[in-house]
Amino acid sequence: MVDAFVGTWKLVDSKNFDDYMKSLGVGFATRQVGNMTKPTTIIEVNGDTVIIKTQSTFKNTEISFKLGVEFDETTADDRKVKSIVTLDGGKLVHVQKWNGQETSLVREMVDGKLILVEYGGNADGRREVRVFQTEGRQIRTVSSAILWEKSRSQCACTSLRWSEETPRPSSELLLTGSSNIFSLFLT
């Protein structure tokens, strides 16, 4: 589920980023700036729309999309691409296509870290790995949820907001409630 990716992620490690940028045709000066940049990625979910913001001293970008639906994107290096993002086996797979070329950005959660593997725009198998880590607490918002209380056979629609420690203690959420008041706990 995309919710596992929600949070603010800071770059802590990067390997082969210069080679990745070369494979996309990024010029020398832009690559030098890109290699020094330590971006922050913010991933949010609003209903069925995913928002990914990338912020750095070099450039800020933002994309907004629905899983499985193609959209237009302007990349940080100003490429105009057709993109599609899907969820595949717990990985967020982002494919960009332009001028007969294609690149893939695959995000996955490993040990509480966001791992981004970027596959270059040519067929030589080059890839770049970036590791992002979150600090402190995350605030997550579920814009709409249906809560079911078995003992009273009641249903309530509500918005939920909760904070959680990172990494998450476990993936199981426990919902408790009485009358019209429901509480959400991480177990």
pLDDT tens sequence across 164-174: 444 443 333 44
The pLDDT, as a whole number, for residue 44 is 97
For the chain, give every domain's residue range: 2-133, 137-186
Please state, in angstroms and rounded to a whole number, the distance separating the CA atoms of residues 182 and 158.
10
If DSSP codes are grouped into helix, strand and coil, which group holds residue 21?
Answer: helix
Q: What is the CA radius of gyration of the chain?
A: 19
- Taking the domain 2-133, which CATH number applies? 2.40.128.20
| pLDDT < 50 stretches in the chain | 136-187
